[in-house]
Amino acid sequence: MWVPPEIKDPILLHHPTRKSIGYFGAVRLRDGKFTYRIEMDKFNSETFFTFLKQLRCISCHSGRRVVLIADNARYHHGLLHKEWRQNCSDRFSIKFLPPYSPELNPIERIWRLTRRLAIHNRHFPSLENVVQTVEKVFLKWKNGNDTLRRLCAFK
């Protein structure tokens, strides 16, 4: 950490905590609309299944087939939602990326942009402040965004 020489005793603001948050997210390539779900506890097959149902509910009105690109996290292959995925396979499918290839996952570009716009190089006194700041960015993307569409589209 760099500190100007005139400051003798720098104070590092740090609020130690073991709490964390995470988000499931998806971008509709047609218009860049961003859909997300916050997870305060942990990512598992159950929370991912809830997100899948939310995503299916949002997209069922279009009448188009939904293809979700996912990495190989264990909960993406859960038995809990396997039967549901098979029953909805004509309208909803998941395509898995090769193992250990986060650079191919389009949503990783969105997470990088989110960190840069919302939380990079900033101090937050509480986790709630982080959530508010991140969701302000997400709110801007709710109705579609050309930047998100371009970030997630393969060339």
What mean pLDDT is predicted for residues 130-152?
92
Per-residue model confidence (pLDDT) at position 70: 94
Would you say residue 132 lies in a domain? no
Percentage of the chain surpassing pLDDT 90? Answer: 48
Would you say residue 39 lies in a domain? yes
**pLDDT band at 14; cut points 50, 70, 90:** low
Residues 6+ apart with CB under 8 A from 32: 141, 144, 145, 146, 147, 148, 149, 150, 152
Dump pLDDT digits (tens) for 57-79: 888 777 788 899 999 999 999 99
Would you say residue 7 lies in a domain? no
Number of domains making up the chain: 1
Three-state SS for 35?
A: strand
Full residue range of the structural domain in which residue 61 is found: 21-96+137-155
Would you say residue 82 lies in a domain? yes
